[in-house]
C-alpha cells in the first residue's frame, strides 16, 4: 500500500504547484498525483472554492474569454435569412433551440461540454452486461456485478485499485469482518 501523505506534505505540494509555471494537471501528472485528489486536498486545506475533478482555473478563464465569440455566433445565426427546411436552416434552428444548454458550460467553466467521463465510468458495466449473459448461473452473474461495483467505486474515489482490493479481502477474511471498514469516504460512517 502506498504511504499516505500528511497534511504538511500536501501543503508543500500545493505551494509547489502554485509557484510552478505548469498547469495544475501537468503538475499532477509530473508528480504522479490523482488530479481529483489534489483538488480535493487543496480545497480542504486552503478552504478555497476550487473545483473538484479535472477542471483547471485556466479552463474557466478560457471559456469566459470566448463569450464575445459566442455573442457573435448568436447574432450571426439570428440574422440569417435561410429556409428552415434547408440543412443550414435545420442546423441553425436546432442550435438556437439548444442555445441555453450550449452556453451554460461556457458561463460556468466548471462544466464539461461532453459526458465522456461518465461514459468511461459505465463502459465496463456495458461490457459486463454482455458477459453476464453467459454466466453459468445467477449467483455467478451477481458476484460479477458486485465486483464491478466495488471496482468502479474505488476508481471513482481515486483509490489505488489493487491496494483497495487487498484491504477489502483482508477485512473479509477476518473471523468477524467489519464490512464498513474498507468503504471509502463518504460512505464510511457509523450509525
Q: Give yes or no for a contact between 178 and 189, defined as CB atoms under 8 angstroms apart.
A: no
- Residue 99 gets the label, from left (phi > 0), alpha (psi -120 to 50) or beta, of alpha
Q: Is the pLDDT of residue 91 over 90?
A: yes
pLDDT in tens, 105-120: 666 656 677 778 778 7
* Nearest residue to 77 (alpha-carbon basis) of 86, 65, 88: 88
pLDDT in tens, 151-163: 877 877 778 888 8
pLDDT in tens, 6-64: 878 888 888 887 777 677 777 777 778 877 777 777 777 765 444 444 455 665 566 66
- What 3-state DSSP class applies to 86? coil
Record the pTM.
0.36
Q: Is the pLDDT of residue 186 over 60?
A: no
31-40, 91-100, 163-172: range with lowest mean pLDDT: 31-40
Q: Is the pLDDT of residue 189 over 50?
A: no
Question: Greater confidence, 137 or 85?
Answer: 85
Q: Give yes or no for a contact between 43 and 50, defined as CB atoms under 8 angstroms apart.
A: yes
The pLDDT score that the predictor gives to residue 50 is 44
The pLDDT score that the predictor gives to residue 49 is 45
Q: Is the pLDDT of residue 76 over 70?
A: yes
Alpha-carbon gap, residue 65 to 61, rounded angstroms: 6
The pLDDT score that the predictor gives to residue 85 is 92
Q: Is the pLDDT of residue 95 over 50?
A: yes
If you average pLDDT over residues 141-149, what whole number do you get? Answer: 79
Alpha-carbon gap, residue 134 to 33, rounded angstroms: 38
Amino acid at each position: 500500500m502506498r504511504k499516505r501523505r500528511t497534511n504538511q506534505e500536501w501543503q508543500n505540494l500545493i505551494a509547489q504547484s502554485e509557484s510552478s509555471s505548469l498547469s495544475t494537471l501537468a503538475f499532477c501528472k509530473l508528480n504522479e498525483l490523482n488530479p481529483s485528489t489534489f483538488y480535493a486536498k487543496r480545497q480542504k486545506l486552503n478552504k478555497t472554492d476550487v473545483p473538484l475533478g479535472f477542471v483547471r482555473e485556466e479552463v474557466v478563464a478560457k471559456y469566459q474569454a470566448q463569450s464575445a465569440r459566442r455573442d457573435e455566433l448568436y447574432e450571426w445565426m439570428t440574422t440569417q435569412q435561410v429556409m428552415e427546411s434547408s440543412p443550414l436552416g435545420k442546423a441553425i434552428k436546432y442550435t438556437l433551440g439548444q442555445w441555453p444548454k450550449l452556453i451554460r458550460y461556457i458561463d460556468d467553466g466548471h462544466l464539461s461540454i461532453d459526458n465522456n467521463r461518465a461514459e468511461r465510468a459505465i463502459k465496463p458495466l456495458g461490457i459486463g452486461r454482455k458477459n453476464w449473459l453467459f454466466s453459468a448461473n445467477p449467483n455467478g452473474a451477481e458476484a460479477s456485478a458486485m465486483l464491478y461495483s466495488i471496482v468502479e467505486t474505488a476508481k471513482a474515489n481515486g483509490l489505488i485499485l489493487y491496494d483497495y482490493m487487498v484491504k477489502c479481502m483482508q477485512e473479509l477474511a477476518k473471523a468477524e469482518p467489519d464490512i464498513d471498514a474498507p468503504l471509502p469516504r463518504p460512505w464510511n460512517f457509523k450509525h
